[in-house]
C-alpha cells in the first residue's frame, strides 16, 4: 500500500472535516483507480510542476501518446502514471496550495480522507447524481463489517475522468434544479489492466494500479485515447 513519502508533509498538519470536504469534493467521484493515483501524486507538488512543464514542452509527443520521456524522469510513479491524464495534471498545477494540502492530508490523515470520500459519495448517490454510466460502475463493496461505495471503470483498463460541479452534485436541491447528466466524461484513456480493490477504505490505504510509468509495467507500456467520446 502507498503511504506516500511526501516532499512536504509536516507531521503536525491536521485538517478539519470541513477543510477535507472542500479539498476532496472535486475528486471524490473519480473512479477508484484514478483516485488511487491522484492522491499519492498530490504529495509531490514540485514533481507536478515538472510534469506540467514537460507536457507543455512536448505537445507533439503527447499528441502521439508518447510518454517515454516522462517515464525516464526520476519522479514518483504515481506522478508519471497521472501524466497520462494531462487535464488532471493541469488542475493539480493550477492550484498548488490545494494540491499540497491534499497531499499532506493523504499522508497524515488517510483514514479521515477515506471517510470523507465515502461520505461525499453517499451524499451524491442520495442526491441522484452518482449513478452507474457507460463509463463507470457504482457498486457497494464489503470490507470487513463495513460497506463502501466503489466507483469502477465500466471497461477494465479504460479510465474516464469525470467532470462535475461540486456545488451541485452533492445537493438534492442542486440536482433537482439542474436535472440529470450532472457528471460528464471526456475521452477515455486506456491504461492497461486495472487491479481490483485498489482501496483499503477502513485505513485509507491505496494500492495504485501499475499503469505505464511504474517500473516493470507489462508489454507495450503505451496509453491510447479512446476517440469514442461519451458524455454523461
Residue range 120-144: mean pLDDT, rounded = 93
Residue range 166-185: mean pLDDT, rounded = 72
User: Using CA atoms, how far apart are residues 113 and 106, in angstroms rounded to an integer?
Assistant: 6
DSSP for 39-50 reads: HHHHT-HHHHHH
Examine the pLDDT at 6 and tell me if it is beyond 60.
no
Give the tens place of pLDDT for each residue, 178-219.
555 489 998 899 887 666 678 999 999 998 888 888 876 654
Examine the pLDDT at 230 and tell me if it is beyond 50.
no
The radius of gyration computed from the CA coordinates of the chain, to the nearest angstrom, equals 17
Beta strands 199-200 and 205-206 are: antiparallel
First to last CA, the chain: 32
User: Using CA atoms, how far apart are residues 20 and 63, in angstroms rounded to an integer?
Assistant: 35
pLDDT at 212: 85
Give the tens place of pLDDT for each residue, 77-117.
999 999 999 999 999 999 999 999 999 999 999 999 999 99
Residue range 40-59: mean pLDDT, rounded = 97
Range with the poorest average pLDDT among 100-114, 145-159, 170-184: 170-184
Torsion sign across C-alpha atoms 107, 108, 110, 115: negative
Residue 9 pLDDT class (50, 70, 90 cuts)? very low
- What percentage of the chain carries pLDDT values higher than 70? 81
Q: In what order do the strands lie in the sheet with 224-226?
A: 158-163, 184-190, 224-226
pLDDT at 12: 53
Residue 2 pLDDT class (50, 70, 90 cuts)? low
pLDDT at 175: 56
pLDDT at 195: 64
pLDDT at 225: 36
Range with the poorest average pLDDT among 39-48, 140-149, 155-164, 207-216: 207-216
Amino acid at each position: 500500500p502507498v503511504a506516500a513519502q511526501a516532499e512536504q508533509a509536516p507531521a503536525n498538519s491536521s485538517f478539519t472535516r470541513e477543510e477535507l470536504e472542500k479539498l476532496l469534493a472535486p475528486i471524490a467521484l473519480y473512479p477508484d483507480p484514478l483516485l488511487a493515483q491522484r492522491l499519492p501524486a498530490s504529495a509531490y507538488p514540485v514533481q507536478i510542476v515538472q510534469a506540467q512543464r514537460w507536457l507543455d514542452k512536448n505537445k507533439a509527443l503527447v499528441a502521439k501518446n508518447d510518454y517515454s520521456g516522462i517515464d525516464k524522469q526520476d519522479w514518483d510513479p504515481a506522478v508519471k502514471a497521472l501524466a497520462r491524464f494531462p487535464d488532471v495534471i493541469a488542475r493539480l498545477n493550477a492550484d498548488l496550495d490545494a494540491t499540497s494540502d491534499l497531499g499532506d492530508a493523504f499522508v497524515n490523515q488517510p483514514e479521515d480522507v477515506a471517510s470523507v470520500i465515502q461520505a461525499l459519495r453517499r451524499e451524491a448517490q442520495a442526491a441522484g447524481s452518482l449513478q452507474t454510466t457507460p463509463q463507470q460502475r457504482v457498486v457497494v463493496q464489503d470490507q470487513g463489517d463495513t460497506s463502501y461505495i466503489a466507483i469502477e471503470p465500466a471497461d477494465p483498463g479504460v479510465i474516464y475522468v469525470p467532470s462535475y460541479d461540486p456545488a451541485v452534485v452533492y445537493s438534492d436541491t442542486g440536482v433537482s434544479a439542474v436535472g440529470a447528466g450532472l457528471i460528464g466524461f471526456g475521452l477515455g484513456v486506456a491504461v492497461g489492466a486495472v487491479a481490483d480493490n485498489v482501496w483499503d477504505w477502513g485505513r485509507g490505504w491505496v494500492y495504485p494500479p501499475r499503469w505505464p510509468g511504474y517500473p516493470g509495467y507489462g508489454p507495450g507500456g503505451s496509453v491510447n485515447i479512446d476517440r469514442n467520446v461519451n458524455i454523461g
